[in-house]
Amino acid sequence: MAILKFRIYFEEDDSVYRDIAIRHKQSFQDLHQAILKAYEFDNKHAATFYRSNDSWARGREITLEKYNKQYRADPLIMSDTTMGSEINDPNQKFVYVYDFVRNWVFHVELINVAREENPKIEYPATVRVEGIAPSQYGTKGLVGDKLAEMEEKYDLQSGAEGFGTEGEDLGDDAEEFGAAESTEEEI
């Protein structure tokens, strides 16, 4: 069974993305749920996928349900549409819109197709997380694991290498260790 790996970029910052692996016979509704879980969003709002091209132009819709609006062509329904049925290109793209009021937009790009599935993974699965996800309803504080990740990534721990004592009084012993004065050659 083919496994499709999609990279889901947050539209406003393409350094924030999630990679999700899904079976080609699973539905767009499964991908929808996986995206919400990967970005820590709730499941209370309407959503739709659009087929897309390299310029991220929106084509035919694949929606959760048929909404009360005008369509150029009847939309496909997420629960009835398998992932593999809509892959026409090895670099297939979709635009995913969640919560039509707040208008969360994500770019979904096929980045890999594997023939074999990993028996240790339950699909769909988030296989890579990059960047801090936007907060669905306001600001998200940097606490717990996320702060620890930031500290590790940017070496923010106090006393870590690179934090000097410039400007601090070295005391009376400073001259003895050659720290009292610098010559112009040293500077």
Q: What is the 3-state secondary structure (H, E, C) of the chain?
A: CCEEEEEEEECCEEEEEEEEEEECCCEHHHHHHHHHHHCCCCCCCCEEEEEECCCCCEEEEEECCCCCCCCCCCCEEHHHCECHHHCCCCCCEEEEEECCCCCEEEEEEEEEEECCCCCCCCCCEEEEEECCCCCCCCCCCCCCHHHHHHHHHHCCCCCCCCCCCCCCCCCHHHCCCCCCCCCCCCC
- What pLDDT shows up at residue 181? 46
- What pLDDT shows up at residue 67? 86
- What pLDDT shows up at residue 168? 53
- Asked whether residue 32 is assigned to any structural domain, the reply reads yes
Mean pLDDT of the chain: 83
CATH number at residue 31: 3.10.290.30
Q: Which two tokens stand for residue 73?
A: 């062509």
Domain hosting 104: range is: 3-130
Domain count within the chain: 1
- What pLDDT shows up at residue 162? 53
- Asked whether residue 69 is assigned to any structural domain, the reply reads yes
- Asked whether residue 80 is assigned to any structural domain, the reply reads yes
**Residue stretches of the chain with pLDDT short of 50:** 141-144, 156, 173-187
- Asked whether residue 185 is assigned to any structural domain, the reply reads no
- Asked whether residue 170 is assigned to any structural domain, the reply reads no
